[in-house]
Amino acid sequence: DAKTTQPTSMDCAEGRAANLPCNHSTISGNEYVYWYRQIHSQGPQYIIHGLKNNETNEMASLIITEDRKSSTLILPHATLRDTAVYYCIVRQTSRNTPLVFGKGTRLSVIA
Amino acid sequence: SAVISQKPSRDICQRGTSLTIQCQVDSQVTMMFWYRQQPGQSLTLIATANQGSEATYESGFVIDKFPISRPNLTFSTLTVSNMSPEDSSIYLCSAATETQYFGPGTRLLVL
């Protein structure tokens, strides 16, 4: 079973920051927080992951609370192409452990 | 990163027939995974395929229905056997390097 809780859906105005929350209160010390997104009719796309420090890459920023029980994915300037389902997943670092998907958050970016 | 391709991209099949989906990765990987995504749903793990050993199936999935081959470190196939309309889904191949990457999916419609 998925170990995360996300809102079912969110809207964001084009050009504004999209802040997607995720609760993972039962996360273990050796589990990372991963974010993926799935644009309609495509395979899931990796966005970012982190353990306990905040992370930033060319796509997004990941803010993890100090107790690691929740995190927020930030898309700094959302565009219409960011409309997708966003999945927050906790996973051990071992590449032998597959991702387990929850229901995710459906983000709609509105012009 | 890893680039993953799948064949076919989509197919329409008659009930009672079988379809084999091919997955090719552009680099050698130890673990490959197969997922199913039913209409309007999230991804569900079918099985884990480790090169040189039999695939490990998740609860609710059996080898007779979804036989998997893993002949080398860059290739795998999933067969959907004796298909029924309930098998209409997107089937996704995934491979784990430092993180987990996904193919574009195979859209299957069973009539």
pLDDT tens digits, A60-92: 999 999 999 999 999 999 999 999 999 999 988
Which tens digit of pLDDT belongs to each residue from B87-100? 999 999 999 887 89
pLDDT tens, residue by residue, B28-86: 998 999 999 999 999 999 999 988 888 999 999 999 999 999 999 999 999 999 999 99
Pair B10, B69: CB distance under 8 Å = no
* Residues in chain A within 8 Å Cβ distance of B31: 95-96, 98
With 70 as the cut, is the pLDDT of residue A2 above it?
Answer: no
Report, as an integer, the average pLDDT of B8-32. 96
Alpha-carbon distance of B20 to B69, in angstroms, equals: 10
Give the per-residue pLDDT at B52: 82
Closest CB to B33 among A87, A98, A103: A98
From CA A80, how far away is CA B68, in angstroms rounded?
38
pLDDT at A1 (0 to 100) = 55
Q: Which residues of B touch A87 (CB under 8 A)?
A: 42
Read out DSSP for B11-35? EEE-TT--EEEEEEESS--SEEEEE
One-character DSSP codes across A26-92? T--TTEEEEEEEE-TTS--EEEEEESSS-EE-SS-EEEE-TTSSEEEEEETT--GGG-EEEEEEEEE
DSSP A5: B
